[in-house]
Structure 1
Amino acid sequence: MADKTPIDTLIDLMARLPGLGPRSARRAVLHLIRKRGQLLAPLAEAMAEVAATARECLNCGNVASGDICPICADIKRENGILCVVEDVADLWAMERSGVFRGRYHVLGGTLSALDGIGPDELRIPRLKDRLATERVSEVILALNATIDGQTTAHYIADELDGRVTLSSLAQGVPIGGELDYLDDGTITAALNARKQI
């Protein structure tokens, strides 16, 4: 068996990305090679820069190129409302809608007894710290409408009960749906129709 070429290695790595299998990865790599100057070289530079600078925001858990993400650093954002999401993709989905102007808290997953994920494996202790140090009046639980998402929402609601006003996303988010797959209008409707827990 011949040694793998750099192109084979690139195809294998691309095939590991969500939504790409080996065939799609081969097509994507061929396209990148054909458009070497316009796509491949700039993509390689951008990936190297992201690999060197990307980190988790110390405040909310978003992905940033510095210690504090642009959302947390934005003085125009509302400090009193905190939107709790499962992961960064959900935060980005909420931001795409353009309707929420508060701040976020990324849990980094959901509670799962089967996978051995408890509150300390998530950013729930950091959420409690933020409530103690920031003037938060409302926490919006914008977790996915899955069993693990709803279990996590109930756990957080129990932990924060009486400390702040708690609300969750309402209409428009289907049971079993995930925020990252919803359109902007659905997210907007769900956020605007949130209800107190």
Structure 2
Amino acid sequence: MAFSPLVDELVESLRCLPGVGQKTAQRMAFHLLEKGRAGGERLAGSLSAAMTGVRRCERCQNFSDTPVCPICEQSDRQTGTLCVVESPSDLLAIEQAGDYRGGYFVLMGHLSPIDGIGPEDIGIELLLRRVSEEGVTELILATNPTVEGEATAHYIADRLDGAGVLTTRLAHGIPVGGELGYVDGFTLTHAFRGRKPLAD
């Protein structure tokens, strides 16, 4: 059954969100039209403002309302250490953990030749320039432990080979509180390869 063109367009527009299929989009649209018009208008305004006003930080490529994002503006950040992540959500997760106080670089993706995504599409040259200009001594490669994430990390490390920059990788392995019997083989392999002496 087709609704009015405006309702159909609203439903189709909501389907652009990840994990939102036809039924979920219809439920969202009907809720906004039946009970949430004020919320819908606020959502429309926020979407419009964000789509036109949010850009990429000139230094780290994170989302920002200004040319340089608030994190890059912080003067108390440790210089010399840069953490490379795939997405703003990865950066947010590290920030919320509260332990890391260095700088960031957000790739906004990973290398994927099959999808036509090369080094120029994720800002590798900007990253390398920043490493050189800022005298970065350690580059933490915090890309995801997927095939594409690993390939991206190795590509960046290869490009910095001989540059005098320590490239490190986040540890992968058994989660705290996890049991070996429930851990997948890929994670176990990483855990064995990344084992280290037991501290006293």
TM-score band w.r.t. shorter chain = 0.7 to 0.9
For the pair 1:78 / 2:72, whether they are aligned, the reply is no
Deviation at 1:4, TM superposition (A): 4.4
Whole-angstrom distance in 2 between the partners of 1:120 and 1:84: 16
Unaligned 5+ runs, structure 1 = 175-192
Q: How far off its partner does 1:173 sit?
A: 7.7
Moved more, 44-53 or 57-66: 44-53
Poorly superposed stretches of 4+, deviation over 4 Å: 1-4
1:129-178: CA deviation from partner (whole Å, max 9, x where unpaired): 1011113221100011111111111111111134211111103489xxxx
Q: Greater relative contact order: 1 or 2 (C-alpha under 8 angstroms, separation 6 or more)?
A: 1
> How far apart in 1 are the matches of 2:174 and 2:115?
25
**Which amino acid in 2 is paired with 1:147?**
V
Q: How does 1:58-137 map to 2 (within 5 A)?
A: 58-137=58-137
TM-score, length-normalised on structure 1? 0.79
Cα deviations by residue, 1:88-138 (Å, 9 ceiling, x for unpaired): 232223223233221111123222232233222321111111011113221
Distance 2:72 2:60 in 1: 7
Q: Deviations over 1:38-89 (max 9, x none)?
A: x212212211211221111111111111111111111122222111012223
> Is 2:161 the counterpart of 1:164?
no
Letter in 2 for 1:95: E
User: Secondary structure, in 3 states, of the residue corresponding to 2:135?
Assistant: coil
Unaligned segments of structure 2, at least 5 residues: 176-193
Larger radius of gyration: 2
More displaced stretch, 46-55 vs 164-173: 164-173
Report what 2:56 is aligned to.
Answer: 56
The answer on whether the counterparts of 2:2 and 2:8 sit within 8 Å (CA) in structure 1 is no
Q: From the superposition, tell whether residues 58 and 22 of structure 1 become closer, same or farther in structure 2 (CA, over 3 Å).
A: same
Q: 1:32 to 1:76 in 2, by over 3 A?
A: farther
Between the aligned residues of both structures, percent identity stands at 43
Question: For residues 92 and 134 of structure 2, what CA distance do their matches in structure 1 show?
Answer: 22
How many residues align structurally?
A: 175
Q: Determine if contact 1:87/1:106 at 8 Å carries over to the other structure.
A: yes
Q: Cα gap change, 1:9/1:168 in structure 2, threshold over 3 Å: closer, same or farther?
A: same
